[in-house]
Amino acid sequence: MGKDRAVGLKSKNLFTGIPSDLTEEFFTTLLEAEGLRIERIVSQGQASPPGFWCDQDEHEWVVVLEGSAVLEIEGTPEPVELLPGSYLNSPAHQKHRVVSTSPGEKTIWLAVHFR
């Protein structure tokens, strides 16, 4: 990469800048471009409210980097457990909900939303 292209590039770390007290999930947009959004989500014991289903207009690919989570996906017989390294692609309008996230440790997700 030429010197000109490297100007303005700044390295960041997915595991820094996380609040110590997480009473709510913490969302950070890392990159946004036309038809694409990449975000870090940090959870600690949070879950979707009873009866709530997430129904998004975009596809969403998620990977758990640290911690764990259990998701319920409409139309599937069993909940899906996500451990560090586990990833899942959810097509647009595939209803899903977070059943649980690790209560004793932070769950760090990387989510890629795309059209």
Tokens 């690790």 sit at which residue?
102
Q: CB pairs under 8 A, 24+ apart, for 11-14?
A: 14/40, 14/65, 14/108, 14/110
**What is the pTM (predicted TM-score) of this model?**
0.88
Q: Which domains are seen in the chain, by residue range?
A: 24-114 (2.60.120.10)
State residue 10's pLDDT score. Answer: 84
Distance set, CA 67 to CA 37, 55, 83, 113 (Å):
22, 24, 7, 21
The pLDDT tens digits of the residues spanning 37-60 come to 999 999 999 999 999 999 999 999
User: How far is 26 from 18, CA to CA, in rounded Å?
Assistant: 8
* Structure token digits, residue 28: 């950070």
- Helix (H) or strand (E) segment spanning residue 3: helix 3-6
Residue-wise pLDDT for 60-100, tens only, equals 999 999 999 999 999 999 999 999 999 999 999 999 999 99
